[in-house]
Every structure is written in C-alpha cells, then in structure tokens.
Amino acid sequence: MNNSRKLMQLVKNNCQNRDQVGYQVKQQSPLANAGESRPAFLIYDVIDPWWGVSAEMIKRDLLSITDATDIDVYINSPGGDVFEATAIYSSLKAHSAKIHVHIDGIAASAATRIALAGDTIEIADSGFYMIHYAWTLALGNAQEIRDTADMLDKVDNTIVNDYEKRTDAGEEQVRSWMKNETWFTAQEALEHGFVDSIMQDGASDKTTNKAWDLTSYQNAPKPPQDKFEQRERLERFANMLLTTG
C-alpha cells in the first residue's frame, strides 16, 4: 500500500500544470538529413494512461509511421505506470525503424523501461537515470492482490534481464541497484552501460524545460537550495559600493 500511495503521489505531483505539452510527435527529427523520413517522439511527461503519456498514444502514432528507417525518442520523465511503460517498450522494439533514445533530463523508474528500447541511447551531461523495483496499484480481494504481486515479480524479472543484457552486470548487482533505488549520473550511466554516450551541450532538441517533483522517491537527488544566494549577496555588495563611491 505504501508504494501504491507513492505512485499515486508521483502522478499527482507532476500533473498539476497540463498547459505544457508533454507528448508530441514531429514528422521530422532535428537530426534528420535532407530528404530523410525520420520522425521524433517527445516523451516529457509521467507515464500514465489517464494523466500522461500512454501506450495507446505511442502505438497509434507508431502504426502511422511506415517509411522511416530511424526514429528519435526524446525522454524527460519521472516514471509512472510500469505496465504502460512495458507496452511502450514493446511497441518501440517491434517497429522496423532503428530507435535512437535521447535522455534530455531524467529517465526515472518506468521511463528507463522505455529507454531500453533504444538501439542507441544517449544522455545529457546533467541527466539522471534511476532504476528500482516496479510499483503498481492493485484493487480486489486477497487472492487478486497476491496475483498482482506475482505479476510484479514477473515484470521485475524481465526488467532485470534487460538491464543485465544492457549493462553486462550480473543479476545480483542489478537487483541490488533496483532494491536501493539507485540514481546514476550521466557518467555513471555510461560507465555501467545503461547508455552509449553523453550528449554534447546543445545537442538535444529541448522543447520544454520541466522540473519534476521527485519527492515520492526515497533517494532522489535534492535540488540545490538558495541557488542564487551567493550571487545576490555579491550583487548587493556591488550596488552598495556604487552608491557609496
């Protein structure tokens, strides 16, 4: 129940401002060459069938793309519904195009499941990549709840297997990372094999700049406090010198 509340809180915290478009499909990626059919998917939202990016949205748009040899997927997401993410992963893997994943900010939780679909994966220098054991919501009698837990074990097993293949890390190491809700910096994600490269500054096509509420997670990196406090003190001191000089 505790993780169920956390998942609900994660979605609630990050769905307050729906004016920002969190999902878009561009007919031409900024990385497309002249005359090339190379669309781009922008996943800048929670992964959720009601309040964010759903598997149905992704599948519908992928089915309409028949002539592309490459597709760019841009991700900045705090995660969400593991089953939706698994369906998105499967849809991307099933497409005939080569999938290029670009993590512009955060790929956390279920969003990493989507990122795994990439034939190539890169991350912004200041990005984060977080993995943990899957959460979900469950309603019903005791047997139905047990069945849901068994299903989560199966989901975790498939994700562990995919992380193992992606990183060449052993099962014990991957499960330890997941158990401890591990947040990897871009460099750590590269060193462990979760990504292939780190983006150069200005290389990504950032059309939004969303800061996610990550308080539902246990080990999320803390945002800097009083970010401009030192600069403001210096500015006040400089202004004082100007007025008294």
Provide the percentage of residues in the chain whose pLDDT is more than 70.
72
Q: Which residues pair with 74 in a beta bridge?
A: 42, 102
User: Is residue 234 scored above 80 in pLDDT?
Assistant: no
Residues 17-52: pLDDT tens digits? 444 558 999 999 999 998 899 999 999 999 988 888
Grade residue 222 by pLDDT with cuts at 50, 70 and 90.
low
- Sorted by sequence, the CB contacts under 8 Å of residue 8 that are 6+ apart come out as 137
Q: Are strands 70-77 and 40-43 parallel, antiparallel or unpaired?
A: parallel
User: Is residue 221 scored above 70 in pLDDT?
Assistant: no
pLDDT reported for residue 134: 83
The residue ranking higher by pLDDT, 127 or 240, is: 127
Which of 184-188, 194-198, 240-244 bottoms out in mean pLDDT, i.e. has the lowest?
240-244
CA-CA distance, 35 to 33, in Å (whole number)? Answer: 6
The residue ranking higher by pLDDT, 95 or 152, is: 95
Residue owning tokens 């991700």: 75
* Residue 145: both structure tokens together: 């709840």
The burial of 49, by beta-carbon neighbours within 10 Å (0-12 exposed, 13-18 middle, 19 or more buried), is given as middle
CA dihedral for 79, 217, 163, 190, sign (positive or negative): positive
Write the DSSP assignment of 85-105 as a string of letters: HHHHHHHHHHSSSEEEEEEEE
Q: Which of 29, 54, 77, 109 is catalytic?
A: 109
The residue ranking higher by pLDDT, 197 or 151, is: 197
Arithmetic mean of pLDDT, 139-147:
90
Grade residue 1 by pLDDT with cuts at 50, 70 and 90.
very low
Amino acid at 67: D
Q: Which of 95, 100, 132, 192 is catalytic?
A: 132
pLDDT reported for residue 147: 92
CA-CA distance, 227 to 236, in Å (whole number)? Answer: 16
Q: Verify whether residue 132 is a known catalytic residue.
A: yes
Identify the three-state secondary structure at position 37.
Answer: coil
Residues 63-80: pLDDT tens digits? 999 999 999 999 999 998
CB contact at 8 A, 212 and 75: no
pLDDT reported for residue 129: 97
Provide the percentage of residues in the chain whose pLDDT is more than 90.
61
CA-CA distance, 93 to 55, in Å (whole number)? Answer: 13
Terminal C-alpha separation, the chain: 64
